[in-house]
Structure 1
Amino acid sequence: MMNLVKTVTKSCEVSGEELHVMLNLRAQKRLDFVLIDIREMYEYSESSIRGTDILMPTSTIHQHMDELKKLANKLLIFYCHIGGRTTQMIFILRRMGFSNIAQLSGGIDAFHGEKLKNAPFPKNIRS
């Protein structure tokens, strides 16, 4: 389990299969991380990954940097539609000193675990 986390943080990427395993481990309280959707609210409504902790659209993310800094001690996994926005996000956060971060490679399109349609927004919505 720790090898998976080290691999993820070193590469800054997690595959859809790895995220599925990680979500199952988290459900068993054997792993702790924060899953953050950086798509816009309408995209989240169309499809989201079960287990998303925070919806923080890229259009508002600059307003929430202090909140992200408070979570820096946890593994933060970001996802978007296909990976373009998260690639930029990871680059920016790395330059700001974040090291415990990763992106879902290929975005939500590459995730074959449980997805929700028209899911209620997470309690931790940042808009």
Structure 2
Amino acid sequence: MQNITPEEVKERLDKGEQLNLLDVREPHEREEFNIGGIHIPLGQVMMQADELENLKNQEVIVYCRSGNRSGQAAMILETMGFANTKNLSGGMLAWQSKFGQ
């Protein structure tokens, strides 16, 4: 698993790049603020990994509130054969402190 900064992700999104984003927060957290992507809470990642099967050989950027749960999710995905997972450093807290809502 590698880390990726909010600045890198925002720059790529601003350029119109289609990113494979995975939000592993709880539904109420996602409702408050999100940057898009697939929503699978951390506790359900293993059970719902088949929804991500088509992304196994692609870059998947995982995010959460602070970067802890997304780091765990990225490691889980790696053990399931995902080749290119990246954890959004600092999560949505870092994103919001840099870019607001």
Same fold (TM over 0.5): yes
Secondary structure in 2 matching 1:76: strand
Structure 1 segments unaligned to the other structure (5+ residues): 1-10, 116-127
Corresponding letter in the other structure for 1:96: M
Bigger CA radius of gyration:
1
Q: TM-score, normalised by structure 1?
A: 0.69
Measured on the aligned residues, the alpha-carbon RMSD in Å equals: 1.7
Other-structure match for 1:69? 53
Q: Which structure 2 residue ranges, 5 or more long, are not aligned?
A: none
Aligned match for 2:24, one of 31, 38, 51: 38
Query: In the alignment, does 2:17 pair up with 1:12?
Result: no
Aligned CA distance change for structure 1 residues 46 and 32 (closer, same or farther; 3 Å): closer
Q: How many corresponding residue pairs?
A: 99
Deviation at 1:85, TM superposition (A): 0.6
Tell me the percent identity.
34
What secondary structure sits across from 1:48 in the alignment?
coil
The CA distance in 1 between the partners of 2:37 and 2:87, in whole Å, is 14
